[in-house]
Copies of this chain bind each other. A is one copy, B any other.
Amino acid sequence: MKAWLHSFPDLPDTVASPADLARLELESALPGTPCTLEHVPAMGESYRVEKTAAGYTVSGGDSGLLYGAYALITRILSGESVPPVLASAPKYGLRMVDCWDNPDGTIERGYSGRSLFFEGNRLVYDPARMRELGRLLASVGLNVLCINNVNVHFPGQLLLEDMLPEAAALADIFRPFGIRLMFSIDFSQPMRHGIPTADPLDSAVQAWWKETAARVWTAIPDLAGFLVKADSEGRPGPFTYNRNHAEGANMLAEAVKPYGGIIVWRCFVYNCRQDWRDRTVDRPKAAFEHYAWLDGQFADNVILQIKHGPFDFQVREPVSPLLLAMKHTNLAMELQLAQEYTGHQIDLYTMIPMWRELFAEMPADNIMSIAAVSNLGRDANYTGHPLAAVNLFTYGLLAWDPDTDAEASVSRWARLTYDFTPEQHRCLVSLLLSTRRTYEKYTAPLGIGWMVNPHDHYGPNPSGYEYDLWGTYHKADRNAVGIDRTASGTGYLEQYSADLQEKYGDPATCPDLYLLFYHRLPYSFVMKDGRTLIQRIYDDHFEGLEETKALAEAIAALPFPEPDRAEIFRRMELQLRDAREWCDIINTFFHRLSGVPDTHGRVIYD
């Protein structure tokens, strides 16, 4: 068993149900502690653990018993005290992991090896690893697994056709872990079957989806639903037929409704063929413009899945205005565990500090589900970088309870994963919690984002997207940098409530780390702490590099067991190189533009 459950014994392939698994796990993890299970179907996924004279009583629905068992086991194994009553219910009903796995075995934005589910355009998997994976996900309360890429290219459609028997067998494997499968679908799939259109208002299309849903749910009665990326980055969708996205999503929703299925509809729609010369378009405005006016028009079993920020998983983005706007629509927030823009699971980047910031700005009740793009792959440790597992672990805890404390959850993961002295443990937790700010410091400054190498998104390239089609520009010139997104600029900020407009609209009150997201500022702009903008850019980058050097030294001093140790060290060397490139290139880029020397005389290459 890998990752934070490495001390757990292998599971038999005979586990019948979550309750059965709960019993097994308690017996093997807490052998001297008698635990009684009380199945209370009405409790569903909730659980209540009560201390008894000799052990514990765990009550809950079928899955609730399992979650209660893991809650108890992980607390005890990580040395935390167990309160007399430990009771909990998940905040969000669907706690989803979205895999971007392609049928050919590759993973879009995958940094942990090849797909766990696909190879050679077939659905093939190792049942033992599936059980390991099911256990990892269940142990942190995750309950929906979408196994294929939202960009559904042929033969991805065959999940609903030829591959369905294998998919049903996979669903059987995950069922005892309380995990339901989900499939990404191709909106134009009816056209593979002689129907000349995919128009959602066409009766033949509607009939095809209904027949398909009947067939699919017959094979997998508890399938969670379909995930849809429509009219986005070249994918087909309702716009082709002059239909809006409510019409598109609701048609699918009606087809899956008899089976309790849901339609998760991604809101990642923007003009990805933008002309860089065109100042009238501002990409972050796109999702709100496409969807906000449709609030209230989506069927009950549609969930709009909205990326946490208005761009695309940058290190720092404000909360998407769409997540704050649609009060009469089921919403899910989409996070990204895969480190697409955040170091490819080479650079250390612990995400929960960022997630906590999101929830600080967005009421947890605004959404009713949560999803995260997977960082999983076929690597032995599942996440490529052994320490990247902390993101999957803490995501599970956050998805269950958005008030989850960053430090406590990282600490629990670390205790379960490594057998360190208290001092070593504190050191590791503290390092992990610092990595997001460190990464942010040495990459694109102050919320500007996007200064990455195009396509693969690893490493610095200050103007890599500057003249491209993707709508992600910084417009840096010899005097100033950034896009004015206030009312005097693109008006993006007007998509927010008055109080947020006030907070972010004035450079004098806007938090520093969001300054260049919202404002175009001269290099001479004076920050709240008295430094100029250009000096702040230099300082952050030199600090980011120095912090990375210190991180590497501290990491080197920790007694990681093999094979983690070698893997961590190898990647740390690459991160050091990456941080140096970022620091020097960003500083040089801005020095060449501004001509302003560093106040402290540090080396900036000309």
Q: Which residues does A use to contact B, with CB under 8 Å? A: 276-277, 460-464, 467, 475-479, 581, 584-585, 588, 591-595, 605-606
Beta-carbon contact of B605 and A277 below 8 Å: yes
B residues near A478, Cβ cutoff 8 Å:
478, 592-595
Contacts beyond the supplied A464-B464, A477-B591: 18 A-B pairs with Cβ under 8 Å? A276-B605, A277-B584, A277-B605, A460-B467, A461-B467, A462-B463, A463-B463, A467-B581, A475-B606, A476-B592, A477-B592, A478-B478, A478-B592, A478-B593, A478-B594, A478-B595, A479-B595, A593-B593
A150 and B464 alpha carbons, distance in the complex (Å): 30
Complex Cα distance, B463 from A460, in Å, reads: 12
Q: Using Cβ atoms and an 8 Å threshold, which residues of chain B touch A606?
A: 475, 477
Closest Cβ of chain B: how far from A453's Cβ, in Å?
A: 9
Shortest A409–chain B CB gap in Å is: 37
8 CB < 8 A contacts A-B: A276-B605, A277-B584, A277-B605, A461-B467, A462-B463, A464-B464, A477-B591, A477-B595
Q: CB-nearest residue of chain B relative to A592?
A: B477
Residue pair B593, A477 in contact (C-beta under 8 Å) = yes
Roughly how many angstroms separate A467 CA and B464 CA in the complex, as a whole number?
11
User: Min CB distance, A604 to chain B, in Å?
Assistant: 10
A328 to B222, CA, bound (A): 81
Contacts of A592 in B (CB 8 A): 475-478, 593
Chain B residues with CB under 8 Å of A581's CB are 467
- Which B residues lie within 8 Å of A584 (CB)? 277
Q: Which B residues are in CB contact (< 8 Å) with A462?
A: 463
Are B585 and A467 closer than 8 Å at their CB atoms?
Answer: yes
Give 4 nearest A-B pairs by CB, closest first.
A477-B592, A478-B478, A277-B605, A467-B585
- Name the distance in Å between A576's Cβ and chain B's nearest Cβ: 15
Q: Shortest distance in angstroms between A283's beta carbon and chain B's nearest beta carbon?
A: 17
> In angstroms, how far is the closest chain B Cβ from the Cβ of A328?
41
Smallest beta-carbon distance A594→chain B, Å: 7
Alpha-carbon distance between A105 and B581 when the two chains are bound, in angstroms: 37
Q: A461 — nearest CB in chain B belongs to which residue?
A: B467
CA gap between A74 and B478 in the complex, in Å? 58
Distance in angstroms from A602 CB to nearest chain B CB is 13
Smallest CB separation, A489 vs chain B (Å):
13
Contacts of A464 in B (CB 8 A): 464
A463 to B464: give the CA distance in the assembly, Å: 8
Taken together as a complex, chains A and B put the C-alpha atoms of A276 and B587 apart, in Å, by 13
Distance in angstroms from A273 CB to nearest chain B CB is: 12
Distance, CA A277 to CA B276, complexed state (A): 30
Q: Which residues of B contact A593 (CB under 8 A)?
A: 477-478, 592-593
Chain B neighbourhood of A277, CB < 8 A: 584, 605
Closest to A463 in B: B463
Among A277, A460, A467, max chain B CB count under 10 A is at: A467
Smallest Cβ distance from A400 to chain B, in angstroms? 43
User: CA separation between A171 and B581, bound complex, in Å?
Assistant: 50
Contacts of A461 in B (CB 8 A): 467
The smallest beta-carbon distance between A473 and chain B, in angstroms, is 11
What distance in Å separates the Cβ of A286 from its nearest Cβ neighbour in chain B? 21
Q: Please name the residue on chain B nearest to A467 by beta carbon.
A: B585
Report chain B residues within 8 Å CB of A605. 276-277
A480 to chain B, nearest CB (A): 10
Report Cα–Cα, A475/B591, bound state, in Å.
Answer: 11
B residues less than 8 Å from A467 (CB atoms): 460-461, 581, 585, 588
A516 to chain B, nearest CB (A): 16
Closest to A476 in B: B592
A594 to B592, CA, bound (A): 11
Residues of B close to A476: CB separation below 8 A: 592
Query: How far does the Cβ of A329 sit from chain B's closest Cβ, in whole Å?
Result: 38
Closest to A478 in B: B478
A587 to chain B, nearest CB (A): 11
State A463–B277 Cα separation when bound (angstroms).
18
Min CB distance A7 to B, Å, is 44
In the complex, A594 Cα to B605 Cα: how many Å?
Answer: 19
Complex Cα spacing A460 to B419, Å: 53
The smallest C-beta distance from A182 to any residue of chain B, in angstroms, reads: 36
In whole angstroms, how far apart are the Cα atoms of A479 and B606 in the complex?
12
- Report the bound CA distance from A516 to B530 in whole Å: 40
Residue of B with least CB distance to A585 = B467
